[in-house]
């Protein structure tokens, strides 16, 4: 089984060696699976359970103090499932798989997705706050009230917001004392692509963006944006979610595979186009039908692991 995983594109992380060890463990877990779908789910489970990434346990806190998880999964026969805005769900990728296999729908959200998870054996009611996230949240002073009050606080806190009301400067140097990717719990979205020589699967999972407006859903559970899979190969993206969604980054990479490019060339082309179109940062991993893995990013760092 060919497996490639990523741990998010963003700033240089603290303790990259330890994070790399978790990524290597995730790729190895996927390589032992029976099917590509099993492989991406099992690989992402490892990453969702690690507080060193922003997926599941250790996910980013939204403006109301709640961690909400999102995920999407797809196979090369275009079967797709996604789930989003789920409090208390560590293994969002398994809920996305349940949506794909157990419902006629592509995406289920919020409390209804949590109910679905519970009915199909995915653990709910999990405390997703890591010690670091709990400490960071305690340092914030977000006012009570609705979205307008939260948006006003975020603009005052970070100096500016992007067009979707997200704290745009958090991706750069708004908080210099804790500017590492892992400290900010931002852009450490996790993803995996697997290929068994016959078929592909791709999946992505996230805890979102630190202090995003409560209820915000980014690119991760959107088909073609955070993930995409087709007979030519699969891709998983990470980075500035709103911009990834604007240019359908994962679909763009797979389209390059369909045009005959290798996995590495497809990844390079997709990120180059993304940067030109948005001026923002992202990363992507890709597998092609020759079993080749490719990855590219235009952020400071993106750690990956490939099964051997």
89, 171, 24, 42 alpha-carbon torsion, rounded to 10°: 20
Which among 189, 204, 238, 278 is annotated as catalytic?
Answer: 189
CB 214 within 8 A of CB 190: no
Count of CA atoms in the C-beta half-sphere (13 A) of 237: 37
Active site residue 160: no
Please, are residues 7 and 16 in contact by the beta-carbon 8 Å criterion? no
Q: Three-state SS across the chain?
A: CEEEEEEEEECCCCCHHHHHHHHHHHHHHHHCCCCHHHHHHHHHHHHHCCCCCCCCCCCCECCCCCEEEEEEEEECCCCEEEEEEEECCCCHHHHHHHHHHHCCCCEEEHHHHHHHHHHCCCCCCCCCCCHHHHHHHHHCCCCCCCHHHHHHHHHHHHCCCCCCCCCHHHHCCCCHHHCCHHHHCCCCCEEEEEECCCCEEEEEEECCCCCCCCCCCCCCCCECCCEEEECCEEEEEEECHHHHHHHCHHHHHHHHHHCCCCHHHHHHHHHHHHHHHHCCCEEEEEEECCCCEEEEECCCEEEEEECC
Residue 169, classified by CB atoms within 10 Å of its CB into exposed (0-12), middle (13-18) or buried (19+), is middle
Catalytic (active-site) positions: 189
């Amino acid at each position: 089984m060919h497996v490639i995983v990523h741990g998010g594109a963003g700033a240089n992380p603290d303790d990259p060696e330890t994070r790399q060890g978790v990524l290597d463990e995730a790729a190895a877990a996927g390589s032992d699976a029976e099917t590509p779908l099993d492989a991406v789910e099992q690989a992402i489970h490892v990453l969702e359970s690690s507080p060193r990434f922003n997926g599941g346990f250790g996910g980013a806190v939204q403006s109301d103090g709640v961690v909400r998880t999102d995920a999407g999964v797809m196979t090369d026969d275009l079967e797709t499932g996604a789930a989003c805005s789920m409090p208390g769900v560590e293994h969002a990728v398994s809920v996305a798989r349940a949506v794909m296999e157990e419902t006629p729908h592509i995406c289920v959200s919020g409390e209804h997705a949590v109910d679905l998870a519970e009915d199909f054996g995915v653990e709910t009611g999990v405390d997703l706050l890591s010690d670091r996230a709990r400490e960071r949240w305690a340092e914030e002073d977000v006012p009570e009230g609705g979205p307008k009050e939260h948006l006003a606080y975020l603009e005052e806190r970070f100096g500016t917001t992007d067009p979707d009301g997200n704290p745009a400067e958090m991706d750069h140097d708004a908080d210099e004392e804790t500017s590492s990717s892992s400290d900010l719990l931002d852009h450490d979205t996790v993803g995996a692509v697997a290929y068994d020589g016959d078929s592909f699967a791709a999946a992505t999972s996230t805890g979102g963006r630190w202090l995003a407006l409560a209820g915000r859903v980014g690119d991760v559970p959107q088909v073609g944006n955070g993930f995409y899979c087709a007979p030519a190969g699969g891709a998983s993206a990470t980075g500035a979610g709103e911009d990834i969604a604007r240019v359908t980054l994962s679909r763009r990479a797979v389209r390059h595979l369909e045009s005959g490019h290798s996995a590495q060339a497809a990844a390079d082309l997709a990120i180059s186009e993304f940067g030109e179109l948005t001026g923002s940062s992202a990363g992507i991993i890709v597998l092609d039908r020759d079993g080749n893995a490719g990855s590219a990013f235009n952020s400071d760092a993106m750690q990956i692991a490939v099964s051997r």
